[in-house]
Each structure stands twice: as C-alpha cells, then as structure tokens.
Structure 1
Amino acid sequence: MELSNNTMALPGPELKEFLDIKAATYNTTDFIATDPIQVPHAFSRKEDIEIAGFLAATIAWGNRKSIISNSRKIMELMGNAPYEFVMAHTAEQLEKLTTFVHRTFNGSDLQGFVRSLRHLYTAHGGPEAVFARHAREGSLQEAIHHFKKHFFEIPHLQRTEKHVSDPLKGSSAKRINMYLRWMVRNDNTGVDFGIWKKLSPAQLSCPLDVHSGNVARKLGLLHRKQNDAKALAELDTSLRKLDPDDPVKYDFALFGLGAFEKF
C-alpha cells in the first residue's frame, strides 16, 4: 500500500496495515548503520550496553553523524569499558572527560553523569531497577520523573539537570523514551536489545521528534501541534489502539517515513 505525501488519515484497519508494513521495512539491522543505537551494539555485557545506550541517547540531538561520532568519543574516553569506568574510575580518569563537548553537553556534564550512574548502581541496583520500581501498568512517564530524581540526588551541577527530561514538567522526553525502547523492546530482528526483563514493551512510549510528530499528524494519529508531554500521551493512545502489546514498533514506521521518505 502506498500513500502520497498529501494523504491524511486512513480508516483504522488500512492505517494499521500501512504502518505495520513500514515498521517491518525499517525495523531491520540495516537501521543500525545510521542510528545512534550502533554505539551500545558494540558491547555484549548488559551493564556496558545500558550505560553506552544511556549516554548515546543523552546526546542524541542535532546531526546524526555528529551524535554517533561523539558517542564513540565518550566510549573511547571511558576505555571502551563503560561499566568498569563508571564503577572504578580514578580522579585522573574522570578529569580526562573535561575535553568532551557535544553542543551544550560538556565535559563537566559528562563527569556528573558518570558519578550519577555509579550512584544508581551502588544505591539503587542500576537503571533498570529504578525504572521498574516506579513503573505504572500503562506508562513509564512517571518512572522517568523518579529516575531523574534518583539520578540527581547526589551533589551535581545545576546546569546538568537540563540533560535529563521530566515528563511531569511537560517534556515529551524523546531521548529517554528512545533509550527505553532500546533496552526494553525485543524486536527479534537485532535492533532493539530487550535486555530489561522487568519492564514490558506495552509500557513504552514513542520517541516524539520532528519526524515522528509530523508524520503522526499527517496520518491523523496526533493533533496537538507541540511535541510535548500532552502530545506524547495523545500519540500513545493512538498507537496502543493499533498494537497494545508493542506500540513503539511504530516508531520505526513514523521515523522512517519522515526521515527517509520525506513523507
């Protein structure tokens, strides 16, 4: 089924068929080559994957090549052993992170993130445990809020807080929702990892960005103009009607249509 760029909403069954096809088209290992998810794919240990994924997702705004390049730089600064670095770094090793910069995320922010990640593992059992403890049946947005609180409950620079979004303050939390998709969803195609077993794909929300938002509006899945928390809730409702068990598989469809097909 093909749609023109001017096509708006389709009847439910036809829209689901169209998006299922597009999701299957883009949810393949070919997707990895152009996406920041390739950074955690360099690792096999769970903790390395979740740390590399979190840091790559954190700086995932701007030019995609720059995101991937700078995410790799972070891994190099951490000796390509992110979990070991987080848990056992020396003051001298931490000081070397000051050279890093990606847009407004700088070396001081990165140092703070390393300290906070170590705190999550030592005090809370790691990021998966934090999200699972605060998860609600149909959503992880409140859990993101609590994750941020735990992340910054140790001394930190105030400026660094802006790099972790809070849905309860109106943010669509695009980067964290993308990270959660990576960790929780098992797509059986080798893209998303599915290593967090305490959470369900049914709880996930679509990472809402310019591409997915614009395509969702053209297809009648979203009407709110701003890409904020209210828009995310509206899109969640629409996507859960199409597939309540795996609603964020449609992230591949919406993003692919927007970024690669200019829908």
Structure 2
Amino acid sequence: MNNTELKEFLDIKVAQYNTLEFIDSDPVQIPHLFSKKEDIEIAGFLAATIAWGNRKSIINNANKMMGLLEQAPYDFIRNHQDSDLKKLEPFVHRTFNGIDFITFVKALQHIYKNHHGLEAVFNKHAKKSSLQEAIHYFKKAFFEIEHLQRTQKHISDPLKNSAAKRINMYLRWMVRKDKQGVDFGIWKSLSAAQLSCPLDVHSGNVARKLGLLNRKQNDGKALAELDKALRQLDVQDPVKYDFALFGLGVFESF
C-alpha cells in the first residue's frame, strides 16, 4: 500500500473501532463511571496504572479500586485519614499490591495539594509535539513523597527509553476529544497533536506489518519512530490510529 491507501485503510479501521462499543471491553470504562473531572482523571489514572495482563482481570480489579475509594476517588484522595488506608492493604493486581496502592493515593493527594492537579503537572513540561518529557517530570513530582523504591516501577519513564504504553494510553483518554464518546478530552490545556500512540505487542506487531515501524523492540525509540509515521497520516490527531492498530491486532489477529 502507498501512503494514501494506507491512510484510507486505517481511517476505515478507526471508524470501525472508535465507537461506544469499544468501551465495553476496555479499561476506559472505569473513568466513564464518573462525571466530575477530578473523579474521571483519578479513576482513569489508576485504571491505566494496572492495565497490563488479562483485560477482564484489569477491569475487575480497577472496579475493586473504585469500591475501596468509596466510589468517590477525588474526595477520598483529598480527605482520607491514615486510618482509611488500612482497607487498601489487601489489594493486589499482579505486581501492584496494597502498599503500592496506598502510596499512589498519598502521591495523588500530594499532586492535588501541591501541584494544582494532574493536568497542571503534565502541562507544565509539555512540548509542542510531545508529552514524553512531561511524563518524566510527572513521575518525579509524583514520587516526591516518601515511598518504597519498588513502587516507582509502576510509572514508566520515556527518558529511560520506555514506550510508557499505559501512561500514553491514559493521556489519550484525558486529552483526545472524539465525537464518539470514548476519549474524554477534558484536559483543555493540552492537544491531541502532542500525544503518542500507546505502543504494546499488538499495536507494535500491526505497525510493523503495515510498514509504520521497523524497530523490533517496543521501546522509546520505537515509539518515536511510530509517532513520526502516524503524524504523517494525521498531524492533528495521530493517536486516533491507536484504535485501528489495536483493533486489527486484538480483534482481527491481523
């Protein structure tokens, strides 16, 4: 396929998968439980944090997280007492355990009290065509509180050559505004043009088969290569093609 044919093919696949039906099998359904901006962004962040492994397990455990936060994540983050955190201790999703969960709650409280919220932290270091450096500085701010070293592994750092799949997916949810009601677009200070595609085994394999990506590892360098290719297809909304790459990989075994 030439570039025009490839764009036409992928645009059709975006239209096919960027629909409300997509929500039913995706962790993005967790922030869709809420209507308040802060609840949406906190629920989305926590759901994205544990978004690896079996999708059903991710969704079930993210729902457990919301239950433990009393279905009011922002209020819990802002106003919890230390005694409220005890009930979080038994939580576990793969290597993300109760201690990690408690640390994330405290770190989120720190972000809202001392950094003006999640959106403000990312916006502070955003570049015109990339949020990868902003992710690095977000991680630094997030872990300014006392924490175990092991907990840091749950937020990737693009400046250490990570593709940072989960946090790039989260940023897509918060920043990209679509007409179909999947992505929220509630972070108005940032734009879809700054986003990077969540790169995982599925999207990476499809991108290679389509000639969008040559690098074999799914790392930060591969993400930069894929970013460049997708921006040639749509500079204003490059990550809409995440729906196409993911759908082709997961639902069509392309």
TM range (shorter): over 0.9
Give the distance between the partners of 1:133 and 1:161, measured in 2 at CA: 21
Pairing 1:118-197 to 2, within 5 Å after superposition:
118-197=109-188
Q: Secondary structure at the match of 1:61?
A: coil
TM-score of the two chains, using structure 1 as the length reference: 0.96
- In structure 1, the residue matched to 2:48 is 57
Correspondent of 1:232 among 223, 226, 229? 223
- CA-atom RMSD, angstroms? 0.4
Shift of the alpha carbon at 1:214?
0.2
- In structure 2, the residue matched to 1:7 is none
Correspondent of 1:25 among 16, 29, 42? 16
Give the ranges of 4+ consecutive aligned residues of structure 1 lying more than 3 Å apart after TM superposition: none
- In structure 2, the residue matched to 1:87 is 78
Shift of the alpha carbon at 1:62?
0.1
- In structure 2, the residue matched to 1:257 is 248
Shift of the alpha carbon at 1:157?
1.1
TM-score of the two chains, using structure 2 as the length reference: 1.00
- In structure 1, the residue matched to 2:105 is 114
Q: Relative contact order (C-alpha < 8 Å, sep 6+): which is higher?
A: 1
- Summarize deviations over 1:181-218 as a string: whole Å, max 9, x none: 00000011100000000000000000000110000000
Correspondent of 2:64 among 73, 89, 107? 73
- Summarize deviations over 1:83-135 as a string: whole Å, max 9, x none: 00000012221111001000000000000000000100011101100000100
Give the distance between the partners of 2:144 and 2:215, measured in 1 at CA: 34
Give the distance between the partners of 2:131 and 2:186, measured in 1 at CA: 16
Q: Are residues 1:35 and 2:33 paired? A: no
**Any unmatched runs of 5+ in structure 2?**
none
Give the distance between the partners of 1:51 and 1:97, measured in 2 at CA: 16
The count of residues paired between Structure 1 and Structure 2 equals 254
Letter in 2 for 1:221: L
**Any unmatched runs of 5+ in structure 1?**
1-9
State the percentage of identical aligned residues. 72
